[in-house]
Amino acid sequence: MSPLVKLSQVNKIYSAGEIPLQALKDIDLEVKKGEFIAIIGASGSGKSTLMNIIGLLDRPTSGSYYLENQDTSRFSQDHLAEIRNKKIGFVFQSFNLLPRTSSLDNVALPLIYAKVSSSERIKKTKKLLKELGLEEKINSRPNQLSGGQQQRVAIARALVNDPEIILADEPTGNLDSKSGAEVMSIFESLHKTGKTIVMITHEEDIAKHAKRVIRMKDGQIWTS
C-alpha cells in the first residue's frame, strides 16, 4: 500500500535578505495511513516548515511531495485550497478561532467552504461538539471558553470534514498540564479510530503519546 504522505529529497530555501536560509535539507519522510507521528525539535529546527509543506500551505524549493499517491507540485492554487479543506484538518497552538463567532459557527466554517447545506452543517457540528464534551458551549464565543475548551473547538473544526490527515502544530503549547493531557487523550482516541495524525512539538512528554517520533535538527531528520 502506498504511503498517505511521501516526501523525497525535499529542500526549502527562503531567499529573503542577502543570505538564503535553508529551512529543510534533503527530507525523506513517509507517513502511512493510520499512523500517529510526533515531529520534535527545538525552535528553528525546521519542524514547522515541514508541517507547512505537508499541509500544502507552502511548496518545496526542490524535491517531491506525494499525497495519496498524487504529485502535489501539479496542483493549482485552487486545487490546493480544496484539498486543504477536505483532506487536511489543522490544529494550531493559538487555536485560530474567530473571536466574535460561536463554537457552532467556528466548527462549521470548513463545511461552508465545502458547500454543505445549512441543516447538515448544524447536524454535523452539534454531533462533534457533543462528542468532545462541549454540548453546553455551542453558543459560546472563544473569550467565554477556557484554553482547553477552545482547543477542543479547534479539534472539532479540524475533524468536521472527516479529513484524511490531522496536522497539529504544538497543540498543547498554550494549555496548562491538565488541559494538555485532555487534548492528548482526544488525539489518542482519534488514533484508535484510524485517524492519521502528524503532531509538531518541542516537548518530550507530549511526543511520547505518538507511536513514532521523528527528531529534527538544523532542517534535517536525525532519527525516526
Q: Given this model, what pLDDT does residue 19 score?
A: 86
Q: Given this model, what pLDDT does residue 16 score?
A: 74
Counting residues of the chain whose pLDDT is more than 70, the rounded percentage is 99
- pLDDT digits 0-9 by tens, 87-122: 999 999 999 999 999 999 999 999 998 889 999 999
- pLDDT digits 0-9 by tens, 4-42: 999 999 999 998 777 889 999 999 999 999 999 999 999
Angle between the 103-113 and 118-131 helix axes, to the nearest 10 degrees? 130
Q: Given this model, what pLDDT does residue 224 score?
A: 45
pLDDT mean over 57-77:
96
pLDDT higher than 80, residue 223: no
- pLDDT digits 0-9 by tens, 139-192: 999 999 999 999 999 999 999 999 999 999 999 999 999 999 999 999 999 999
pLDDT higher than 50, residue 86: yes
According to DSSP, the residues that pair with 39 across neighbouring strands are 200, 214
The radius of gyration of the chain's CA atoms, rounded to the nearest angstrom, is 17
**Which option is the CATH number for 32-62+74-223: 3.10.640.10, 3.60.21.10, 3.40.50.300, 3.90.650.10?**
3.40.50.300
pLDDT mean over 55-79:
96
144 φ, ψ (degrees, to nearest 5): -100, 5
- CA-CA distances (angstroms) from residue 160 to 2, 14, 34, 93, 131? 25, 34, 18, 19, 12
Burial tier of 33 (Cβ tally within 10 Å: 0-12, 13-18, 19+) = middle
Q: Given this model, what pLDDT does residue 13 score?
A: 96
Q: Given this model, what pLDDT does residue 222 score?
A: 85
pLDDT mean over 32-60:
95
Round to whole Å and give the CA distance between 199 and 166. Answer: 8
Round to whole Å and give the CA distance between 24 and 120. Answer: 41
List the grid coordinates of 93: 497552538
Q: Domain coordinates of the chain in residue numbers?
A: 32-62+74-223
The set of residues, in sequence order, having a beta carbon less than 8 Å from that of 17 and lying 6+ positions away, is none
Q: pTM above the 0.75 mark?
A: yes
